[in-house]
Amino acid sequence: MMNMALPGLETECVKATDIVMTDPAHAREIVQRFKPTGRILDPFRGDGAFWNEMPGAEWCEIREGRDFFAWREPVDWIVSNPPYSIFSDVMRHAFGVARDIVFLIPINKTFNSFVMMRDIWQWGGVPTMYVMGTGAMIGLPVGFATGAVHFQRGYRGPTAVEFRIPNTPVRRAACASPPVACSASFAWCPGCGISRPVDQFPADPELPGICSVCDATMKQNNALCVLTHSKKEQ
């Protein structure tokens, strides 16, 4: 896919898809969760969703002539939503200026490259992954699990994985005893992956239900449930 020149950045190689603004409510939630202190930098200020929640924070924004890659001064915290297409370059530059880094990213960005993992663990570690759902659930154009990942210089402890919402149990259609294959049709949510028996939603396949977890429109899935059950689910 060809990179698109954004207004004012015609000489830069910038993907238009990298310019995605964070919902202020989600930025506030992340700042309140991690409570950055000391000298703070938002390297990709955008419309100020994170920066507005961190009074006195420094900032960069390439569209306003402040390039993060030109920043050299040490800071205590970096908190932001970085451009995903150059995430590895962003991380390596952040390593050189910050002690604590919190980025709102698809979680797999932390692990999908051995070289990136090696660089992270040579620099420090990951104390916390705060999983907020899929990107679509928080207004970002990605389908992967997404959240705020906290990187810390010199950290050698375990990684805590926190979930923004509690796990939601999936109820399956009751099946008779003795064990038999369940032939119930299910509906599934593309937003959070939750599946439920189709009888919990309108019978008309053109009128699918709404997911009670993330409000996405449920989709019909007529594949058979291959699980077997020895007794009816209560």
- Which of 163, 191, 226 is a domain's end point? 163
On whether the CB atoms of residues 220 and 189 are closer than 8 A, the answer is no
- Give the pLDDT confidence score for residue 121 in this predicted structure: 95
* Each residue's pLDDT expressed in tens, for the chain with a length of 234 residues: 223 333 444 334 556 556 778 999 999 999 999 999 999 999 999 999 999 999 999 999 999 999 999 999 999 999 999 998 899 999 999 999 999 999 999 999 999 899 999 999 999 999 999 999 998 888 888 888 999 999 999 999 999 999 986 444 444 434 333 333 344 444 545 555 544 444 444 444 444 455 444 444 544 443 333 333 333 333
Q: Which residue has the tokens 């309140």?
A: 32
* Domain containing residue 116: 16-163
Distance, CA of 73 to CA of 63 (rounded, Å): 20
Do 85 and 34 belong to one domain?
yes
- Which of 163, 193, 220 is a domain's end point? 163
* Residue 10 domain flag: no
* Residue 7 domain flag: no
Dihedral of CA 168/174/178/180: which sign? Answer: negative
Which CATH number belongs to the domain containing residue 114 in this structure? 3.40.50.150
Do 33 and 67 belong to one domain?
yes
- Which of 140, 163, 186 is a domain's end point? 163
Do 206 and 140 belong to one domain?
no
Do 133 and 186 belong to one domain?
no
Do 92 and 193 belong to one domain?
no
Do 182 and 159 belong to one domain?
no
Do 133 and 52 belong to one domain?
yes
**CA 226 distance to own-chain centroid:** 31
Do 215 and 126 belong to one domain?
no
The pTM for the full model equals 0.67
Do 124 and 196 belong to one domain?
no
Do 148 and 195 belong to one domain?
no
On whether the CB atoms of residues 208 and 220 are closer than 8 A, the answer is yes
* Residue 201 domain flag: yes
Strands, sheet with 58-59, edge to edge from the N-terminal-most edge strand? 58-59, 40-42, 75-80, 98-106, 145-153, 124-134, 160-163
> Which among 36, 142, 49 is positioned nearest to 87, based on CA atoms?
142
